[in-house]
Structure 1
Amino acid sequence: MIQIENVSKTFNRKGVTTEALKNVSLDIKEGEIYGIVGFSGAGKSTLLRTINHLTTPTSGEVIVDGKHLSKANSKEIREIKKDIGMIFQHFNLLNSKTVFKNVAMPLILSGTPKEEVEKRVNELLDFVGLKDKAQNYPDELSGGQKQRIGIARALATQPKILLCDEATSALDPETTASILSLLKRVNEEYNITILLITHEMSVVREICDKVAIMENGEVIESGSVFDIFSNPSTRTGVKFVNTVMHSEVPDFVLRLLSDEKKRHIYRLNFIADSAGKPILSQLSKRYDVEASVLFGNITELQRTPFGNLIVEFIGEADEIEKVKAFLTEQEVLYSEVTRNASEY
C-alpha cells in the first residue's frame, strides 16, 4: 500500500543544512496499522508529509497504492490525495462551522451532491457515536469528542489510507483508550491502512501491527510489535519499550552483582505457551539448582502472553549449564545480567 524507498530530505535555511530524513525505507501493507515512534526531531512528521505530498523528498521514492508520487502530475496527485485521510493532534476543526459542516467539508469541496453529503455525514457521525452533536459547534465538545469528529471528517471521502499525526497526545489516558479503540474499528470495518505517528509506546502496543523506531532522521529498527517489544535491538528501542514494559534491571539487582560472591542472575523471556508452563518449578526438581525470582512481570502483546523475569540460579556451574540447556529446550530466551546492565 505504501512503499518508502531510500527517502532522504534535506532542508536549507539561512545557510544551515538539516538532514531531516536519511535513507529511510519502509513497506506498509494494505490493512496494517503501522506505528512510527521517535523522540522530538526524529523525522516522524517529515516522513508523514512525504506520503501526502506536502513535502517532496530530496532523494528516494514514495509509492502510494502503486503510484509513484515523484512521477505524478498535479491532477494525479490530487486523485492520490483523495485516498488519504488525515487526523491531527489538535483536531484542526473549523470553530465557526457546526459538527455536521466540519465533517461534510471534504465532500462539499469535492462537489458531492447534497443528498449524498447528508447521508454520508450522518453515517459517519453515527459510527463515531456523535450523531446527537450534529448541530453543535466544536467549542461545545470535549477533546475526545473533537477528535472523533476529526476521524469522521477524515473518513468522509472514503480513503484507503489514514495518516494520524500524534492523534492522541493531547488527550487524557481514558480518552486516548477510546480513540484507539475507534481507530481499531476503522481499520477492521473499513479495511483502511493506518499510519500512526506517535512518541507514546503504549499507543503502539495497544493497536499497531508493526512499528518503526526513528532517531536523527533514520529508521534504526523495525518489525512486528511483538518482536520489537520482546527483543529491542537498539538503545533507543530499549528506552521506548521500557516506558510501558518496565523491564529495566532494578538497582537492587545491580547491587547484588557488586557483591564479591559470584552470582548467576539471568533475564528470562517467556513467550506464548512457555509463559503458562511451570518451568522454574520443573528445573528446580530436575537439577540441583535453586531458582529465586528477583523481579518480573507477565503481560500480553498482540494477544500473545509475554513474561519477563529476572531470576537468580543458585548452584554449581555444571548444574546451571544444564538449566540453560533445559531453558533452550523449552523455548525460553535467556541472557545473563551483568554488572553494567542498566537497561533491557
Structure 2
Amino acid sequence: MIEFHQVSKVFDSGENKVAALKNINLTVEKGDIFGVIGFSGAGKSTLIRTVNLLEYPTSGDVIVEGKNLANMSEKEIREAKKNIGMIFQHFNLLNSKTVFDNVAMPLILSKNKKKDIEARVHEILRFVGLEDKAKNYPDQLSGGQKQRVGIARALATNPSILLCDEATSALDPQTTKSILDLLKRINEEYKITILIITHEMEVIKQICNRVAVMENGQIIETGSVFDIFAHPKTDTTRNFVKSVVRDEVPKSVYKILKENANNSRIFKIEFFGTDSGQPIVSNTAKTYNVEINVLFGNITELQEIPFGNLIVELGGDHHEIERALRFIINQDIEVREVFEDGSQHRVDFERLVGNALHG
C-alpha cells in the first residue's frame, strides 16, 4: 500500500544542511493502522508529508498503491492525491467558511456536481456526528468538533489512505479517545489504511496494529504493537513504553529494602495473554520457602491481548529463591531481575538449571 525505499530528505538552507530522513525503508500494508512515533525532531512529520508530496524526497522512492507520485505529471499527481486524505494537528480549517463548505472544498476543487457534493457532505457529517453543525463556523466549535470537521474533509473524496499528522496532540484526553475511536471506525467500516504519526504512546496503544519508532531521521525499531510493548529493543522505545506501562520501583522503596538488609532481590514478572490469569505468586509462595512482597503491578490490553507485569521482592535462602525462579520461568513466563540503578536483566533459565545440577 505505502512503501518507503531508501528515502532520504535533506533540507538545504545554503550554509546548513539538515538530514531530516536517512535511508528510510518501511512498508505499510493495506488495512493497517500504522503508527510512527518519535520525539520532536525525529523526522516523523517529514516522513508522512512525503507520501502526498507535501515534501519531495531528496533521494529514494515513496510508492503509494504501486505508483511513485514523484514520477508523475502534475495532472496525474492531482488525481492520485484524491486517494490520499490528510488530517492536521491544528485542523487547517477556513474560519470564513461554514462546516459544510469546509468539508465540501475538496469536492468543489474536483468539480463534482452540486447535487453530489451536497449528498456526500451530509453523509460524511452524519458519519462523524456533526450533521447538526453544517451551518456553523469553525470558531463556534470545540477542538474535538473542529478535528471531526477535518476528518470529514479528508474523507470527502473517498480516499483509500488517510494520513494523520499529530491529529490528537492538541486535544484533551477524553476528546482524544473519541477521535481515536472515530479513526478506528473509519478503518473498519471504510477499509481505509491509516498512517498516523504521534509522540504519544497511548495513541499507538489504543488503535494501531503496527508501529515504527523514529530517532534522528531513522527507523530504529518496527513491529507489531504487542511486540514493541512486550519486547522493546532500544532505550528510546523503552522510554515510550514506560509512559504507558509503568514498571519502575521508586528509589525510596529501594532505600527501605536496603535498610532492612534482608538479602532480598527484586524481579519483574511479565504476563502475556492467558498467563495473566494464572495465580503465579500464590502458587510460588505455597510451593517454596520464599517470602514474596508485591511492590508494584499493572495490567493493560494490547490488541485485545492482556499484558502486564508484577514487580516483586523475593526474600529467603539464595538456592530457594533460584528454585522459585525456575518454577515461575517454567510456566513460560519471562522474569527480569531489577537493580537499584533501574537496569533490568533477563533471568536465564539454563543458568538456573545448571546451578541446580551443580549445587
Alignment TM-score, normalising by the size of structure 1: 0.95
2:278 aligns with 277
Following TM superposition, by how much is the alpha carbon of 1:253 offset from its aligned partner in structure 2, in angstroms? Answer: 4.2
Q: Which amino acid aligns with 2:58?
A: T
1:231 aligns with 231
Distance 2:24 2:322 in 1: 43
Distance 1:318 1:61 in 2: 58
1:126 aligns with 126
2:149 aligns with 149
- Would you say the 8 A contact 2:39–2:199 is kept in 1? yes
Is 1:136 the counterpart of 2:136? The answer is yes
Aligned length in residues = 344
Counterpart mapping for 1:1-344 below 5 A: 1-255=1-255, 262-341=263-342
Cα offsets for 1:18-42 (capped at 9, x unmatched):
1101121111111111111111111
Cα offsets for 1:135-192 (capped at 9, x unmatched):
1111111111111111000000000000011111111111111111111111110010
Distance 1:38 1:288 in 2: 46
Q: Which amino acid aligns with 2:321?
A: I
Distance 2:82 2:171 in 1: 28
- Would you say the 8 A contact 2:53–2:70 is kept in 1? no
Alignment TM-score, normalising by the size of structure 2: 0.91
- Would you say the 8 A contact 1:208–1:225 is kept in 2? yes
Distance 2:184 2:134 in 1: 23
Distance 1:157 1:116 in 2: 11
Distance 1:307 1:231 in 2: 12
Distance 1:181 1:4 in 2: 28
Q: Give the 3-state SS of the residue equivalent to 1:322 in structure 2.
A: helix
Q: Give the 3-state SS of the residue equivalent to 2:93 in structure 1.
A: coil
- Would you say the 8 A contact 1:11–1:17 is kept in 2? yes
Q: Give the 3-state SS of the residue equivalent to 1:321 in structure 2.
A: helix
For the aligned residue pairs, the C-alpha RMSD in angstroms reads 1.7
Q: Give the 3-state SS of the residue equivalent to 1:241 in structure 2.
A: helix
Following TM superposition, by how much is the alpha carbon of 1:64 offset from its aligned partner in structure 2, in angstroms? Answer: 0.7
Structure 1 segments unaligned to the other structure (5+ residues): none
Cα offsets for 1:178-221 (capped at 9, x unmatched):
11111111111001011111111111111111111111111111
Higher mean C-alpha displacement, 235-244 vs 85-94? 235-244
Q: Which amino acid aligns with 1:221?
A: E
Q: Give the 3-state SS of the residue equivalent to 2:243 in structure 1.
A: helix
Higher mean C-alpha displacement, 96-105 vs 66-75? 66-75
Q: Give the 3-state SS of the residue equivalent to 2:241 in structure 1.
A: helix
Following TM superposition, by how much is the alpha carbon of 1:321 offset from its aligned partner in structure 2, in angstroms? Answer: 2.5
Distance 1:263 1:218 in 2: 42
Q: Give the 3-state SS of the residue equivalent to 1:195 in structure 2.
A: strand
The percent identity for this pair of structures is: 60
Q: Which amino acid aligns with 1:126?
A: R
2:353 aligns with none
Distance 1:325 1:72, change over 3 A: farther
- Would you say the 8 A contact 1:61–1:69 is kept in 2? no
Q: Give the 3-state SS of the residue equivalent to 1:51 in structure 2.
A: coil
- Would you say the 8 A contact 1:8–1:24 is kept in 2? yes
